[in-house]
A and B are shown apart, each in its own frame.
Chain A
Amino acid sequence: MTGRLPDAKRQHVPWQRLMDTQHIQMAHGGGGQLTAELIEEIILPALGGPQQAGLLADAAAVAVDGQRAAFTTDSYVVWPLEFPGGDIGKLAVCGTINDLAVCGARPVALSMGLIVQEGLEIALLKRVLASAGRAAAEAQVPIVTGDTKVVGRDALDGIVINTAGIGQLLPQAQLGFERVLSGDRIVLSGPLGEHGLAIMSQRESLSVSAELASDCAALHHVTAALLASLGDEVRFMRDLTRGGLATTVVDLARGAGRDIEIDEEAIPVNRSAWAAAELLGLDLLTVANEGKLVAVVSESSADEAVKIMAGHDVAAQAAVIGTVGSESASQLVEMITRIGGRRVVQMPYGEELPRIC
């Protein structure tokens, strides 16, 4: 035992003191527990405190001249900038539309702020912007204002896009955790993990699956159709993003103060995504999506909700995947697995990393 490090503590010290709490870590942005803590402990207190309920939910309801409007913003960073099934431009448009949509709003207009790295290929920028324009046109939600900044080579990689969106809250929308009741059904709009796994495969040149593409899509037509037909039978909606289905259902259980049971056999499967997740040792429930949503609806309207959703291409494989259980202090989410076993579903910690072998 020679040449020990001078700064290596010889005595046993508690790990907590060694943990770096002074710097932001990648996991703070992973959409899991650390992200929640960052928001609750650092961001919310500084920006008005938790009494401003909903301040930092996916979208906030604001009153403009007596009209109920929804307002949201989101920044997009993704690498690579272009990936199978989409790119950062399409992502920035669809993501913000979806944040408005799941709050029960009809998206009206978007803003787009670009922060571009010095040296970025103009051809690439053109492609990304054309894609954003196309996505907005298809969704019939215009981008009406914007801003552009260029920063030095070391300030960021490629491009960061911020979009904000404003929408008109639909009168039928009565959504919220507090409206979720025991016996309500959980409907998922399609298979899990396509976005996260498409990105990961592309980023690491994994040859796991050539046909794997991001599910990046706007969902406002699906949410509008649900609300138009089912009104207040729709209790809650959330689009699945970072942290995947696991984060959404755990949030739902906590928000509603109830246990939740989901059935793995009922969850729609994309074979390619499933195989890629198996290969990488990832839990599909925790992998990111960009074009899927979960809707909680009353028991009696669950079949109708599935039928309505399945009428849209982006939700063709919609299915009832779970049930809201009774009120409980533990707010446990359990899943009956494909083999019929039971296991707990937890919010992922942060970035989920592929395994070694």
Chain B
Amino acid sequence: MLTYRKKFGRDCEKVHELFARVIARRPRVQVMEICGTHTMAIARSGLRSLLPEGLKLISGPGCPVCVTDQSYLDQAVHAARRGGSVTIATYGDMVRVPGRLGSLAEARASGARVEVVYSADQAVELAKRQGDRQVVFLGVGFETTAPGTALAVRRAKQEGVKNFSVLMAHKLLLPVMRALLAAGDVEVDAFLCPGHVSVILGYAAFEEIARDHVRPCVVAGFDPPQVISGILEILRQLADDKPAATTVYPSVSAAGNAKALEAIEDVFVPVDVAWRAMGVVPDSGLALREELAEFDAQRRLGLPEMESYEMPGCRCGDVITGRCSPFDCSLFEAAKCTPRDPVGPCMVSTEGACAAAYKYERK
């Protein structure tokens, strides 16, 4: 019987064979993954060490924390710190991202209530338990987490949970992919599309990008065998000059998850939002519908607008747009940005490209 490692080795051989065909016609191949989980799986498995030179895997705007603009983080920390019985309920990744007002972790250390939850629904539960406090859920993430937030808002509405609200930063994947390609300065030959988001969106959602921009868009799951299958499919398409939107991840259908999409549509409307380093991208974010505005934390708490900025010296913006690798950042190279003392979100998030490179690739 073939061991896992041998089987994988065979797939890698196929990658090398196909790549030899593809590379004859171009200087190199850059595949962009737009999912923090892919970023992490690639680094943690040491996959790069098995790929041919000239086949580059670069990270795109797929890590929810990393794409979130600093202004949002400052707003959250402001809400946490200003007292008034506010509890911030957030996914763990957000807790340590530094901003001008410090991080949520530091706010917590100096007395603010910041609680880590694993779902929006848990934040509603928290609100029900903490009846005397305002529970603000940080609604961060792509189409994977947005349906959960939508259902939580629906539940809060139905059950009359008056002390639950959402600070919205949900984002949509397709608009940012288009914006990235439109910018024109990033060399992307193909997209390795995220499994989780695509379960919701369906792989057909990428057809337009595959056709208009002539780029393979291949959905893959998260373990290394899935990633290598995705890379093989991309190389096949490049070799045959037939870019298409397809999936190697069996759980993904063409049409996606109608219920989840319906929940998003029912509760949110697309809005122009600011992305880290990309500025405002039209219709790339989600806001609560007007009839649900009472659950908007910004309105309920009267939170001030904050300024957009980058931490000094930090190249997270370039990292998440594939313009540089973590190793090109001087803070990373000089170990001035580390998991211990992170400067930018890509180093904080467990899905960030810098954290992945630092933990698993930096010698």
Residue numbers of A with Cβ under 8 A of B are 1-5, 7-9, 12-16, 18-20, 23-27, 33-34, 204, 206, 265, 278, 281-283, 330, 332, 335-344, 346, 348-350, 352-357
Contact of B98 among A18, A344, A353 (CB under 8 A): A18
Asked if B74 and A8 sit within 8 Å, CB to CB, the answer is: yes
Could you show 16 A-B contacts with beta carbons less than 8 Å apart?
Answer: A3-B304, A19-B98, A20-B109, A23-B110, A282-B350, A336-B46, A337-B45, A340-B5, A341-B49, A341-B50, A341-B224, A344-B363, A354-B92, A356-B36, A356-B65, A357-B141
Residue numbers of B with Cβ under 8 A of A are 3-5, 8-9, 12, 36-37, 40, 43-50, 64-65, 74, 78, 91-93, 95-96, 98, 100-102, 105-106, 108-110, 116, 118, 122, 140-142, 144-145, 196-197, 222-225, 228, 304-307, 309, 311-312, 338-341, 343, 349-351, 358-363
Given contacts A281-B40, A356-B145, contact A8 B48 (CB under 8 A): no
Given contacts A339-B8, A354-B92, contact A281 B351 (CB under 8 A): yes
Asked if A339 and B100 sit within 8 Å, CB to CB, the answer is: no
- Please name all residues of chain A whose beta carbon is closer than 8 Å to the beta carbon of B100 when the two chains form the complex: 8-9, 13, 18
How many angstroms from the CA of A6 to the CA of B178 in the assembled complex?
A: 38
CB distance from B346 to the nearest CB of A (A): 14
Asked if B350 and A352 sit within 8 Å, CB to CB, the answer is: yes
How many angstroms from the CA of A346 to the CA of B349 in the assembled complex?
A: 16
Residue of B nearest to A12 (CB): B312
Question: Given A4-B306, A26-B109, list of 15 further CB < 8 A pairs?
Answer: A1-B305, A1-B307, A2-B305, A5-B101, A8-B101, A13-B100, A15-B98, A25-B109, A337-B45, A341-B46, A344-B361, A344-B362, A352-B350, A353-B96, A355-B92
Residue of A nearest to B338 (CB): A349
Asked if B309 and A12 sit within 8 Å, CB to CB, the answer is: yes
How many angstroms from the CA of A276 to the CA of B36 in the assembled complex?
A: 18
- Please name all residues of chain B whose beta carbon is closer than 8 Å to the beta carbon of A338 when the two chains form the complex: 4-5, 8, 45, 224
CB distance from B277 to the nearest CB of A (A): 16
Asked if B8 and A265 sit within 8 Å, CB to CB, the answer is: no
Contact of B46 among A16, A23, A204, A342 (CB under 8 A): A342
How many angstroms from the CA of A5 to the CA of B309 in the assembled complex?
A: 15
Asked if B307 and A339 sit within 8 Å, CB to CB, the answer is: no
Contact of B49 among A2, A9, A278, A342 (CB under 8 A): A342
How many angstroms from the CA of A70 to the CA of B317 in the assembled complex?
A: 53
**A interface, by DSSP: helix, strand, loop or mixed?**
loop
Given contacts A4-B306, A340-B9, A341-B50, contact A353 B360 (CB under 8 A): no
Residue of A nearest to B11 (CB): A339
Residue of B nearest to A357 (CB): B144
- Please name all residues of chain B whose beta carbon is closer than 8 Å to the beta carbon of A16 when the two chains form the complex: 341
Given contacts A8-B306, A18-B102, A265-B4, contact A332 B140 (CB under 8 A): no
- Please name all residues of chain A whose beta carbon is closer than 8 Å to the beta carbon of B50 when the two chains form the complex: 339-341
How many angstroms from the CA of A353 to the CA of B102 in the assembled complex?
A: 19
- Please name all residues of chain B whose beta carbon is closer than 8 Å to the beta carbon of A27 when the two chains form the complex: 105
Asked if B363 and A341 sit within 8 Å, CB to CB, the answer is: no
Given contacts A5-B101, A7-B101, A265-B3, contact A24 B109 (CB under 8 A): yes
Residue of B nearest to A246 (CB): B359
- Please name all residues of chain A whose beta carbon is closer than 8 Å to the beta carbon of B36 when the two chains form the complex: 355-357
CB distance from A27 to the nearest CB of B (A): 7
Please name the 8 residue pairs, one residue from A and one from B, whose CB atoms are nearest each other, closest first: A341-B46, A353-B92, A3-B304, A343-B46, A349-B339, A20-B106, A357-B144, A23-B109
How many angstroms from the CA of A158 to the CA of B282 in the assembled complex?
A: 50
Residue of A nearest to B48 (CB): A341
Asked if B44 and A337 sit within 8 Å, CB to CB, the answer is: yes
How many angstroms from the CA of A14 to the CA of B340 in the assembled complex?
A: 16
Asked if B312 and A357 sit within 8 Å, CB to CB, the answer is: no
- Please name all residues of chain A whose beta carbon is closer than 8 Å to the beta carbon of B98 when the two chains form the complex: 15, 18-19
Asked if B92 and A343 sit within 8 Å, CB to CB, the answer is: no
Residue of B nearest to A285 (CB): B44
CB distance from A207 to the nearest CB of B (A): 11
Given contacts A340-B8, A355-B92, contact A206 B45 (CB under 8 A): no
Most buried by A among B144, B340, B341: B340
- Please name all residues of chain A whose beta carbon is closer than 8 Å to the beta carbon of B311 when the two chains form the complex: 12, 15
Asked if B360 and A344 sit within 8 Å, CB to CB, the answer is: yes
CB distance from B61 to the nearest CB of A (A): 14
Asked if B350 and A353 sit within 8 Å, CB to CB, the answer is: yes
CB distance from B65 to the nearest CB of A (A): 7
Residue of A nearest to B47 (CB): A341
- Please name all residues of chain A whose beta carbon is closer than 8 Å to the beta carbon of B141 when the two chains form the complex: 356-357
Asked if A337 and B46 sit within 8 Å, CB to CB, the answer is: yes
How many angstroms from the CA of A354 to the CA of B95 in the assembled complex?
A: 11
Given contacts A20-B102, A343-B360, contact A278 B196 (CB under 8 A): no
CB distance from A335 to the nearest CB of B (A): 8
Asked if A5 and B78 sit within 8 Å, CB to CB, the answer is: yes
- Please name all residues of chain A whose beta carbon is closer than 8 Å to the beta carbon of B95 when the two chains form the complex: 353
- Please name all residues of chain B whose beta carbon is closer than 8 Å to the beta carbon of A336 when the two chains form the complex: 46
Contact of B340 among A1, A18, A349 (CB under 8 A): A349
- Please name all residues of chain B whose beta carbon is closer than 8 Å to the beta carbon of A8 when the two chains form the complex: 74, 100-101, 306-307
Residue of A nearest to B359 (CB): A346
Asked if B64 and A356 sit within 8 Å, CB to CB, the answer is: yes
- Please name all residues of chain A whose beta carbon is closer than 8 Å to the beta carbon of B5 when the two chains form the complex: 265, 338-340
Asked if B93 and A356 sit within 8 Å, CB to CB, the answer is: yes
How many angstroms from the CA of A356 to the CA of B120 in the assembled complex?
A: 11
Asked if A33 and B306 sit within 8 Å, CB to CB, the answer is: no
- Please name all residues of chain A whose beta carbon is closer than 8 Å to the beta carbon of B222 when the two chains form the complex: 278
Contact of B4 among A24, A204, A339 (CB under 8 A): A339
Residue of A nearest to B357 (CB): A344
CB distance from A326 to the nearest CB of B (A): 15
Contact of A5 among B12, B43, B306 (CB under 8 A): B306
